Structure 1
Amino acid sequence: MENQKCDNTKVSAWCIVSMASIPLVMTLGNSMLIPVLPVFEEKVNITSFQSSMIITSYSIASIFLIPVAGYLSDRIGRKKVILPSLILALIGGLIAGFVSWKMNNPYTWIILGRVLQGIGAAGATPIVLPLVGDLYKADDEKTSSCLGIIETSNTFGKVLSPILGSLFASLIWFLPFFSISFFSLISIVLVFFFIKVPKNNHAPIKFKEFLNKTKVTFEEGGKWLSVVFLLGVFVMLVLFAVLFFLSESLEKLHDLKGIKKGFVLAIPLFFLCISSYVAGRKIKGSIPLMRKIILISLILMTGSIVFVGYTKEKIVLLLIITSVLGIAIGAMLPTLDALITENIEKTQRGTISSFYSSARFIGVAAGPPLMSVLMKNYLNISYIIAGVFGIILLCLAFKLLNENTMKMNAAEKTES
């Protein structure tokens, strides 16, 4: 285990920057490709559905391996899982970029490179959440604040992604793949030198004991955890479906391409980023406030998502609606992170947060291909159905996300 001490009074600014670089890089590694998917379709001669799989292949690999990474991080240490994972992400970017440069039909190899990046993402981004909890121990206010910074870094990556992706692709169409490797290298250096993980004086639990503890956690908090997981799926499904639709619409309906398109696509993501930062600063470990933010965000999501398809030909209205949607999603993301991290005991944080991250990646994986199929003939009805799901989740969150349902987990966390 890492043996350098770092307690809740000595977490350096560079340590926080290093942690924030991980979700930033992994977000760039996925979202940066969304605005240039139409370019890939033209250069590689593939369909819209095939181009969506460039996003989905990354996420599918993450879904299945994130729980493994969470268990390993609880057992051998966070940093020992994060660094090799970032190296895999770097290698995957090099593979995807090289085959795009040198091969006439690189699609299959691009997907393989993206799968490797997804494996890297599985062992990097999700481990940051329990790592924050480890560093700040029982200080919920500082944990919430730092998680807000981490999630803001994630959302800031989404703001930068369309701009950088469009810029790089305008220079060389496959340059975004190589840039992912470059950003991964920066994060590797930061993590190696600046993240000092607290020493764990407890022996790693045996696998059987680990399974029993995980089972107990889900038995005692299964209802509220299930709601949080479902919200994670729903939020990321809506986000990536709308981003895919918006990217296609800006290019094909409004003739916006290149860097100009990237800046326009970044507008709703900018509001998402600001909302995420503000929410992360305000929640301060308060379950009632987190609950209120989630409920209000779901109301905003449900009220705005149904109008996305109807405003596709009016760019100003489309951007207003998607910006409201971005504000709602931005407020919810750090709130869900905090609910998981602050109400689960330390020995289970890596595992439970990894299940939550897997749930989020299900939404990321499903969003683009679903939208590529539905937007041709079922665009409006698909957004209306999303609104109905939002109402169902609103009812579940209202009933199950409260201090009484999470009391047992909070007590266990305090004792640990």
Structure 2
Amino acid sequence: MKKSTSTTLIICIIGLLPFVMVVGNSMFIPIIPDIQHELRLTTVESGLILTVFSIPAALMIPIIGFISDRVGRKKVVLVSLLFIMLGSIMSAVAPLLLDGQAAFSLLLFGRFFQGVGAGGTAPMAMAMAGDLFEGKERSKALGTVEVFNSLGKVISPIIGASIAVFLWVGTFWIYFFLAFLAYFGIKISINERVREKKAFSVKDYRRSVITIILREFKWLIPIFIASGVGMLLLFGLMFFMSYYFEESYGIYGIQKGIYLAFPLIALTIFSYWTGNKLGGNSNKVKQFLLLGLSILFISFALLIFFHGLLGLLVLITLVSVGLGFFLPAANTAVTSSVGIHERGLVVSLYSMIRFLGVAFGPITFSVFMNEPMELFFLSFFFVGVSFVILISSWTCIPILKECNPTI
């Protein structure tokens, strides 16, 4: 890390990476009807505009992590951002140069390139934060990463909807600009430690990672599961709220956007606060993990019985508060459990599971859209199982006592 660059600026530049990944899907959700109308697409075809981004992003995450442990995070991030910029240009010019299915095909290719690039953004942010910082600074950096992640969720649909009022292809140019800004910041501000040269052996590396996961099983696997469930529930709830507000209460447009923003703002605030409070002490990490899951457990128990408009708003905001406690603590536990040479792949696997939770949340909740009581009971069950798996893997639970203070 360059001495001339402040720690705060470095953290903010790294925070742009998860922001770029989140914006890659969320910003385009409001413009899907516009694209469908202009390119004369079916509903299934328009849905592919989101899917063709999500699948390559999720699949690339562990591959990117493997490569980054060998060649360095910075190189991988820069190449990933170039892919996003290339894909953005392809998608933006598609309706200008071509028409109908030809334009749609080029747009999908562009979205595919964006997805491939996005796989090397958010996961590398956590890995970079783990490499560059230690102790309280690491926790602060990881909390800030979660804040940027949350901010992306909050403002990207608003950005997309605002730009689409004038010209929907403008969203792709905005995405290009965000990727370029992140590229420029990483290029001039991040100076990684010199890495020991290691043979590029897939077999040896796989064996090493399996050993690490088995060694750190009590930290990693339960946190992987709980984090994936948490993201599935968060994005499933956002999908549910968007539909439920319109169908049950006739809430549309800006008013609906404001209501949807409440939980995400709560997630942002509490993620930042938790990141500043955490250190490298496993007692605090475990306490915040327990606190976060406890709040989720109670919230979904209450949602089974109270899911009118006010109850929905208050309790889903409370769910986000719980995730604001849990996710930064989970990030700290994962990044601190492994060394610098294995961190990339382990963090990437963790990020892949979280991203798959994001992808499957809306699908899962859509099945029970007309049965909110069953939906919230199922969510309550998922959180309960995650809670039991997590605490049963610990040999010491830091409630009213101190445990081993080192992660």
Q: 1:351 aligns with which of 339, 345, 351?
A: 345
Assess if the C-alpha contact under 8 Å between 1:52 and 1:372 holds in 2.
Answer: no
Do the aligned partners of residues 389 and 372 (structure 1) sit closer, same or farther apart at CA in structure 2, a change above 3 Å counting?
closer
Tell me the equivalent position of 2:400: none
CA distance in 2, matches of 1:93, 1:58: 12
Worse-matched range after superposition: 91-100 or 273-282? 91-100
Tell me the equivalent position of 1:79: 74
Shift of 1:294: 1.6
Assess if the C-alpha contact under 8 Å between 1:309 and 1:383 holds in 2.
Answer: yes
User: What CA deviation, in whole Å up to 9, does each residue of 1:35-80 have, x standing for no partner?
Assistant: 5556666666667776555444322212221111111111001110
Aligned partner letter, 1:269: L
CA distance in 1, matches of 2:111, 2:223: 28
Assess if the C-alpha contact under 8 Å between 2:295 and 2:318 holds in 1.
Answer: yes
The answer to whether 1:341 aligns with 2:341 is no
CA distance in 2, matches of 1:25, 1:161: 10
Shift of 1:343: 1.5
Do the aligned partners of residues 384 and 100 (structure 1) sit closer, same or farther apart at CA in structure 2, a change above 3 Å counting?
farther
Tell me the equivalent position of 1:279: 274
How many residue pairs match? The answer is 400
CA distance in 1, matches of 2:304, 2:106: 34
User: What CA deviation, in whole Å up to 9, does each residue of 1:203-249 have, x standing for no partner?
Assistant: 22441432232121022122431111111211111111111222233
Tell me the equivalent position of 1:365: 359
SS of the residue corresponding to residue 171 of structure 1 reads coil
The answer to whether 1:325 aligns with 2:319 is yes
CA distance in 2, matches of 1:315, 1:300: 20
Q: 1:240 aligns with which of 214, 231, 235?
A: 235
The answer to whether 1:270 aligns with 2:265 is yes
Aligned partner letter, 1:213: S
CA distance in 1, matches of 2:212, 2:229: 23
The answer to whether 1:382 aligns with 2:375 is yes
CA distance in 1, matches of 2:95, 2:216: 47
Do the aligned partners of residues 171 and 303 (structure 1) sit closer, same or farther apart at CA in structure 2, a change above 3 Å counting?
farther
Shift of 1:351: 1.1
Tell me the equivalent position of 1:414: none
Q: 1:103 aligns with which of 69, 90, 99?
A: 99
Shift of 1:305: 3.4
Assess if the C-alpha contact under 8 Å between 1:34 and 1:247 holds in 2.
Answer: no
Tell me the equivalent position of 1:17: 12
Assess if the C-alpha contact under 8 Å between 1:306 and 1:380 holds in 2.
Answer: no
CA distance in 1, matches of 2:319, 2:57: 25
State the superposition RMSD in angstroms. Answer: 3.0
Aligned partner letter, 1:96: S
The answer to whether 1:213 aligns with 2:219 is no
User: What CA deviation, in whole Å up to 9, does each residue of 1:370-403 have, x standing for no partner?
Assistant: 333432x444323311210110111111122466
CA distance in 2, matches of 1:307, 1:51: 36
Aligned partner letter, 1:381: E
Assess if the C-alpha contact under 8 Å between 1:305 and 1:386 holds in 2.
Answer: yes
Shift of 1:339: 0.5
Do the aligned partners of residues 100 and 285 (structure 1) sit closer, same or farther apart at CA in structure 2, a change above 3 Å counting?
farther
Mind listing any 5+ residue stretches in structure 1 that lack a counterpart? Answer: 412-416
Aligned partner letter, 2:184: V
Q: 1:127 aligns with which of 108, 124, 127?
A: 124
User: What CA deviation, in whole Å up to 9, does each residue of 1:186-205 have, x standing for no partner?
Assistant: 111111111121222x2224
Q: 1:115 aligns with which of 97, 112, 116?
A: 112
Tell me the equivalent position of 1:156: 151
TM superposition score normalised by structure 2: 0.87
SS of the residue corresponding to residue 284 of structure 1 reads coil
Do the aligned partners of residues 367 and 48 (structure 1) sit closer, same or farther apart at CA in structure 2, a change above 3 Å counting?
farther
CA distance in 2, matches of 1:305, 1:44: 41
The answer to whether 1:300 aligns with 2:290 is no
Shift of 1:306: 5.5
Q: How does 1:114-263 map to 2 (within 5 A)?
A: 114-136=111-133, 139-200=134-195, 202-207=196-201, 208-263=203-258
SS of the residue corresponding to residue 123 of structure 1 reads coil
Shift of 1:98: 3.5
SS of the residue corresponding to residue 216 of structure 2 reads helix
User: What CA deviation, in whole Å up to 9, does each residue of 1:68-101 have, x standing for no partner?
Assistant: 1111111001110001101112222333344356
CA distance in 1, matches of 2:233, 2:46: 18
Tell me the equivalent position of 2:390: 397
Do the aligned partners of residues 118 and 262 (structure 1) sit closer, same or farther apart at CA in structure 2, a change above 3 Å counting?
same
TM superposition score normalised by structure 1: 0.86
CA distance in 2, matches of 1:82, 1:216: 27
CA distance in 2, matches of 1:206, 1:99: 38
CA distance in 1, matches of 2:176, 2:62: 24
Worse-matched range after superposition: 33-42 or 184-193? 33-42
Report % sequence identity: 29
